[in-house]
A and B are shown apart, each in its own frame.
Chain A
Amino acid sequence: MLIFERSHPGRRNAAQTPHHAATASGIPTALLRQDKPLLPEASEMDVVRHYTGLSQKNFSIDTHFYPLGSCTMKYNPRACNTLAMLPNFLARHPLAPEATGQGVLACLYDLQEILKDVTGMAGVSLMPMAGAQGEFAGIAMIRAYHDARGDKTRSEIIVPDAAHGTNPATAVMCGYTVKEIPTDANGDVDLDALRAAVGPQTAGLMLTNPSTLGVFEKRITDIQKIIHDAGGLLYYDGANLNAILGKVKPGDMGFDVIHMNLHKTFSTPHGGGGPGAGAVGVAQRLLPFLPLPVVAKEGDAYRCLTEKDLPQSIGHLSAFSGNIGILLRAYVYARMLGAEGMHRVAEFATLNANYLMAELHKAGFTVAFPQRRASHEFIVSMKPLKDATGISAMDVAKRLLDKGFHPPTTYFPMLVPECLLIEPTETESKETLDAFVSAMKEIRDEAQATPELVKGAPHTMPVRRLDDVKAARELDLAWKPSAHVS
């Protein structure tokens, strides 16, 4: 039932709204609204029951194991939420004087320093509001760098075929064309193809390391040299930073610019699709181009740098200062981990991934790169199962829901057929991983014995499989009062 169907004309919440009359003076009639917007008329209790009930239809980290590859669904500590929502933090207007924000600015400054340290970069801006906006900032800085040098021939960004879709889409938003290069049989970048691809037109390479195939790019030093020798810059897509946190720094690998998904590595909530936070870090030569504002410390005071301080900045990407409430959560998390805890993140994320990969491999599942170490994630292919029983990776994913597990990422990366990309994260226990292996084995048995059961999954969710074709062909994007809904 939709909230609109709980609506009763005339019902209102007097305690939550001003006593003032619902009319305004001094506005010409021609500019006034004549119709009533379609908002519910429901009591507070109706509303609370409705949205509490809806929330219970979700899988979430707080309720289920969520091994979604490339998404780092680790536990989101409650203290991060509580402490980011202290009343003074919430009440501050973004344009209030900086003197009234020294507490929040101190947190942001400290977070910049922590992120610089952990990534080995010379400077950090916390402003991008999501990973994709961080990518935009990064590539825009690469372009600003070449432009500032009068190097106008560089028109191309190189992207491996295993990359996230945001990489090529970002390059295009920054006015570049995209050159895609293949991956070799070991899951590494094909170096010969890379050598053949670079030239005076190369603005840079976007690389995820460990890659989306769940392996560390061993020849990163060679790649770095090829790109830099061609005059290009090296971009680190931080989607998989959790795998190397405290182990190896992107700056030490030779990357010039990096974005970090704080909603992955630094445990800020995903919130059903955002808000995220996509901080960017840069090497020395890109410092002048950082997006604004950047927080500076002068004596004991903190202030936001402006265009006057950074005249070559790529500019502002949000009206004010990014997703500050999310940045506060990341800061609390980082301080709770401390230096020691930071080192342990990658270690235990990697231990969990390799253990889960070993156990699934032993159970007879097809691991995509058995000769390699898993990073914090790995790929299992369901192709043998599909060939034998007709049960696809999608069927397995849906059946996992019935077993009480959120499925891994399916059909990404596209290079491995019928793939499941599995990322357990460091916060899951051995018992949970063992239970997941058992569920996978059960499903494989069901695929042999009762394939219809698996093909028809899920059976225990609020809905069964949805008709996506109908959703796209007969668009229904907003409820209409006349429509009948059960």
Chain B
Amino acid sequence: MPFIPHTEQDIQAMLTSIGATNIDELFDEIPAALKSGKLSAIGDGLNEMQIARLMHERAAQDVQPLNFIGAGAYEHHIPAAVWEIATRGEYYTAYTPYQAEASQGTLQTLYEYQTMIASLTGMDASNASLYDGASGLAEAILMAVRSHKSSRRVLLPASVSPLYRSVARSIVRLQNIELVEIPFDTATGTTDLNALQQHAGSDIAALIIPQPNFFGALEDVDALADWAHAQGALAIGLVNPISLALLKAPGNWGAKGADIAVGDGQPLGAPLSSGGPYFGFMCCKQALVRQMPGRIIGRTVDLNGKPGFTLTLQAREQHIRRAKATSNICSNQGLMVAAATIHMALLGSDGLRRAAAASHANTQALAVQASGVPGVKRLFSAPHFHEMVLHLPKSSAKVLVSMADQGISGGYDLKPHYPQLGNAILVCATETKTNEDIQRYVAALRHALH
């Protein structure tokens, strides 16, 4: 049998030791009426050669177009060493590091990750990761409500990804939390400060501040963070980690800095993979550390005074606190974080800046050249980072289909979520794109609009 090492002699010797005549006897506590018969949907087992053929055939069906979609998942170069090291068996097949002495590899890696991501976001502390950026946003909302004494209202701008808003709603709505949508200014593409001002003076637990926002537009983060604090609300920064190589860190927003920073770590070494696995990151100010969900690694010393690493603040967690835990979370995305840590270590601050700057320059070049196609224009006036919205003179859905036929993923159609924007698409050209790629894009767009 696959992956079962027992020989016939082993089985007999083991049954003799147990005092059973056959393996079936070991299931005699299960009521006979409940025992199941044959499985019908599974078929015969495949050996490695057969399954390899099947999976190669399936993968061959998924030949990928030249990709210009971002919208929360970004195609960045991943150095070869990242997954070579992350899939070493010692990382890949270890469990959550409960036995600290036998898990110093995972624990130190996570501590180094916490250091890097806390520094990128300009915050005091980080956890060891959450499932993804969207569920991380939901956890940040729950955390803000836990730490706020009176309010269960959170302001969530419409310039936050609609996919994230949908997940946040699914996760927090059962706890009687009100998510209030704040519209965006259709000229700039950023949060409408006048609309926000209508909530001044009301009891608010938190304001979500996306930077860059879903449209790639840059929000006035200083003003937004100060506004939140003036209302006694927490400022939650929702950020792209690559952008933080260039952009002001949430910890420095406004006079006091954001209180919590969350986002998706995918741009740091996770392949696109149809959407996962990625990881969510969460950082916060020191005062909020005990409200943070998820695993947290701390540095301490052993019996001999030698530095070492261990899971800490476990009194927050479900396996200790049960119904009173900060969250039901009991895992992180450890392997993705190991990859992200290696990725950040390889790129360093300079490499991360170059990847961010090159992506930004490519998207700018794409916008300039695409705007040369008759009827195509940039939609929003705010400065942006590495992603932007184009308005098309024809049905965005049809244009994208035509571009797909030409082997190009031309962007993300905003119409289903933002019908008020008309035929608008969100486009992104990361550092992986060449000038020729951008020219191919523009030619395909021109053809689609012809």
Report yes or no: B307 in contact with A485, Cβ–Cβ below 8 A. Answer: yes
A contact residues around B60 at 8 Å (CB): 88, 103
Q: Is B149 an interface residue (CB 8 A)?
A: no
Interfacial residues of chain B within 311-364, with CB under 8 A of chain A in the complex:
312-313, 315, 317-325, 327-336, 338, 341-342, 344-358, 360-361, 364
A113 at the interface (CB under 8 A from B): yes
The interface-forming segment of B171-179, B201-209, B441-449 is: B171-179
Q: Give the distance in Å from the alpha carbon of A136 to the alpha carbon of B328 in the complex.
A: 8
Also in contact, A337 and B2, with CB within 8 A (given A58-B90, A106-B58, A132-B318): yes
Given contacts A17-B350, A401-B99, A428-B5, contact A325 B30 (CB under 8 A): no
A165 at the interface (CB under 8 A from B): yes
> Do B97 and A317 touch (CB < 8 A)?
no
B163 within 8 A of A: yes
Q: List 23 A-B contacts (CB under 8 A).
A: A22-B350, A27-B246, A28-B383, A35-B122, A37-B116, A41-B349, A51-B109, A62-B90, A96-B409, A102-B61, A106-B61, A107-B55, A130-B331, A172-B323, A272-B95, A316-B166, A335-B42, A336-B51, A338-B44, A348-B6, A358-B19, A397-B99, A430-B13
> In the docked arrangement, what's the CA distance between A339 and B42, Å?
5
B431's contact among A20, A82, A339, by CB below 8 Å, is which? Answer: A20
When chains A and B are docked, how far (Å) is the Cα of A94 from the Cα of B28?
47
Q: Identify the 6 closest CB pairs spanning chains A and B, nearest first.
A: A320-B275, A338-B45, A62-B89, A271-B335, A94-B275, A315-B170
| B436 lies within 8 A of chain A by Cβ | no
Contacts of B100 in A (CB 8 A): 463, 466
Taking CB atoms, residues of chain B closer than 8 Å to A221 are 31, 34
**Interchain CA distance A163-B65 in the complex, whole Å:** 48
Stretch of A193-201, A225-233, A246-254, A442-450 on the interface side? A246-254
Closest A residue by C-beta to B94: A60
A334 on interface, CB distance cutoff 8 Å: yes
- Does A256 belong to the interface (CB within 8 Å)? no
Cβ contact within 8 Å between B42 and A39? no
Kindly list chain A residues whose C-beta atoms are within 8 Å of the C-beta of B38: 339
Contact with B along A22-55 (1 / 0, CB 8 A): 1111111011111111111110100110111011
Whether B331 and A317, one on each chain, are in contact in the complex, defined by CB atoms closer than 8 angstroms, is: no
- B 262-303 binary contact with A (CB < 8 Å = 1; else 0): 001000000111111111000000000100000111111111
The smallest C-beta distance from B226 to any residue of chain A, in angstroms, reads 13
User: Roughly how many angstroms separate A60 CA and B95 CA in the complex, as a whole number?
Assistant: 7
Q: A27-B247, A248-B35 are in contact. Are A90 and B273 (CB under 8 A)?
A: yes
Q: Are B90 and A63 in contact (CB under 8 A)?
A: yes
B167 sits at the interface (CB 8 A)? yes
Contacts of A11 in B (CB 8 A): 348
Interchain CA distance A40-B412 in the complex, whole Å: 35
Judging by beta carbons under 8 Å apart, are B298 and A36 in contact? no
Q: Is the CB of B330 within 8 A of A165?
A: yes
- Indicate if the CB atoms of A351 and B23 lie closer than 8 Å: yes
B64 and A92 contacting across the interface, CB-CB below 8 Å: yes
Docked-complex contact A93 and B30, CB < 8 angstroms: no
A166 at the interface (CB under 8 A from B): yes
Bound Cα distance from A97 to B55, whole angstroms? 20
Instruction: Return B28 CB to nearest CB of chain A, in Å.
Output: 7
Set of chain A residues within 8 Å of B358, measured between Cβ atoms:
18, 20
Question: 1/0 per position for A130-147, CB-CB distance to B under 8 A?
Answer: 111101100010010000
Q: A170 to B331, alpha carbons, bound, how many Å?
A: 14
**Residues in B neighbouring A57, C-beta threshold 8 A:** 103-105, 108
Check B274–A321 contact: CB distance below 8 A.
yes
Alpha-carbon distance A151/B10, docked complex (angstroms): 55
Residue A354 CB within 8 A of the other chain: yes
B131 touches A20 (CB 8 A): no
Is the C-beta of A482 less than 8 angstroms from some C-beta in chain B?
no
| B389 on interface, CB distance cutoff 8 Å | no
Note all chain A residues with C-beta closer than 8 A to B133. Answer: 319
CB distance from B319 to the nearest CB of A (A): 4
B4 interface contact, C-beta 8 A: yes
Residue from B303, B347, B401 in contact with A16 in the complex, judged by beta carbons closer than 8 Å: B347
> Among A315, A323, A468, which residue has its beta carbon within 8 angstroms of that of B277?
A323
Name the A residues within 8 Å of B264 (CB-CB). 319
Which A251-303 residues have a C-beta within 8 angstroms of B? 252-253, 267, 269-276, 291
| Residues of the B chain whose Cβ atoms lie less than 8 Å from the Cβ of A74 | 3
By a CB distance below 8 angstroms, the chain B residues around A33 are 244-249
Q: Are A472 and B312 closer than 8 Å at their CB atoms?
A: yes
B75 close to A130 (CB less than 8 A):
no
Do B5 and A427 have beta carbons less than 8 Å apart? yes
Interface size on A, residues (CB 8 A): 202
- Report whether A340 and B44 are in contact in the complex, using a CB–CB cutoff of 8 Å: yes
Contact A273 B332 (CB under 8 A): yes
Q: Is A123 an interface residue (CB 8 A)?
A: no
Residues B404 and A97 in contact, CB atoms below 8 Å apart: yes
Contact of A429 with B69 at beta-carbon distance under 8 Å, contacts A13-B346, A60-B93 already known: no
Contacts of A390 in B (CB 8 A): none
Inter-chain contact B328/A169, CB cutoff 8 Å: yes
A317 touches B335 (CB 8 A): no
Q: Which of B176, B245, B329 has the most CB of A within 10 A?
A: B329
Does B106 touch A at the CB level, under 8 Å? Answer: yes
For A347, list chain B residues within 8 Å (CB): 23, 26
Residues of A within 8 A of B62 (CB): 88-89, 92, 100-104
* B299 shortest CB reach to chain A, Å: 4
Instruction: Closest B residue to A94 by CB, please name it.
Output: B275
Cβ-closest chain A residue relative to B100: A466
Pairwise interchain contact A319-B274, C-beta atoms closer than 8 A: no
Known: A16-B79, A41-B349, A275-B279. A132 touches B328 (CB 8 A): yes
Cβ contacts under 8 Å, B361 to chain A? 20, 24-25
Most A-side CB within 10 Å, residue of B62, B102, B278, B341: B102
User: In the complex, what's the smallest C-beta–C-beta distance from A260 to chain B, in angstroms?
Assistant: 15
Min Cβ gap B163→A in Å is 5
Residue in A27, A73, A339 whose Cβ sees the most chain B Cβ within 10 Å: A27
Contact A91:B248 (CB < 8 A) given known A168-B323, A269-B93: no
Stretch at the interface among B80-88, B150-158, B180-188: B80-88
Chain B residue contacts of A321, Cβ below 8 A: 274-276
A21, A100, A346: the one within 8 Å of B354 (CB): A21
Known: A22-B357, A318-B276, A478-B125. 19 other contacts (CB 8 A): A20-B357, A24-B356, A54-B105, A57-B108, A91-B67, A95-B73, A104-B274, A116-B41, A166-B318, A173-B171, A218-B31, A220-B31, A272-B110, A272-B334, A316-B134, A316-B163, A317-B171, A319-B161, A428-B5
CB distance from B58 to the nearest CB of A (A): 4
Q: Nearest-CB distance from A483 to chain B (Å)?
A: 9
A100 near B332: Cβ-Cβ < 8 Å: no
Q: Is residue A152 contacting chain B, with contact meaning CB distance below 8 A?
A: no
B92 cross-chain contacts in A, Cβ below 8 A = 60, 62, 76, 81, 269, 271
B200 at interface, CB cutoff 8 A = no
Residues of B within 8 A of A172 (CB): 323-325, 328
- Scan residues 125-175 of chain B and give those whose CB is less than 8 A from a CB of chain A: 125-126, 128-129, 131-135, 161, 163-164, 166-167, 169-171, 174-175
